[in-house]
Amino acid sequence: MGDASNIIVGTAGKAFAAEVGATFPTGPEESWGTGWTDMGFVTPDGLEEALEEERTQLDAWGEDAPVIDLAKKRTQTFKLTFRETTARLLSLYYQVQMSKMVSTPSATGKKQFVSFGSGSTADTVEIALGLDVIMSGKRHRIAIARCGVTDRGAIKHSAEDSSNYELTFTALAAPGGLQSVQHMITEVVLPEAS
């Protein structure tokens, strides 16, 4: 019989960013620690996680089914829509290193502003990404060692909604041969070995 306590409904969540190589928390209940910054409000759509596989099947003479089924490539993506306009989100959306952005301080009667150029394919912005999906004390934490933005939604500037940043992150090979994506989920019990 099923157990309703095993159902996770992502009623809340957070996204955190750091430089590639940052140290991840050791468990889903630990704080994100030094170097991690909160990426701000996410729309109620929450997180969309997808895993796609490219597979190769090998046949054998006289067999009516493949004898080997190999995974050639696994691509994991994570899609979120952010509400806030921050330097980090502008950097990710427009693929501009924050070090190439210029902040002009406020002057009498004028507001501070940030400026940058976009359109160059020479810039690539990669980050470490931390995601928390939270429901009634349960937590599904996803730690992505290295990722980049591979798809973006259009930014709509209107009186109907905020100017949102829809970003799809793709997990890339992790530095030092580590796992590119690590999942930590509270209150899931492994069955006893028989």
Structural domains in the chain, sorted by start: 9-185 (2.30.110)
Are 35 and 19 a contacting pair, CB within 8 Å? Answer: yes
- Closest of 184, 149, 183 to residue 166, by C-alpha: 149
pLDDT (tens digit, 9 = 90+) per residue, 23-66?
999 999 999 999 999 999 999 999 999 999 999 999 999 999 99
pLDDT (tens digit, 9 = 90+) per residue, 90-135?
999 999 999 999 999 888 788 999 999 987 788 889 999 999 999 8
The pLDDT, as a whole number, for residue 129 is 98
Band of the pLDDT at 194, cuts 50, 70, 90? confident
- Closest of 119, 125, 139 to residue 184, by C-alpha: 139
Q: Is the pTM of this model over 0.85?
A: yes
> Distance (Å, rounded) from C-alpha 94 to C-alpha 106?
24
Mean pLDDT, residues 172-176? 88
Are 155 and 165 a contacting pair, CB within 8 Å? Answer: yes
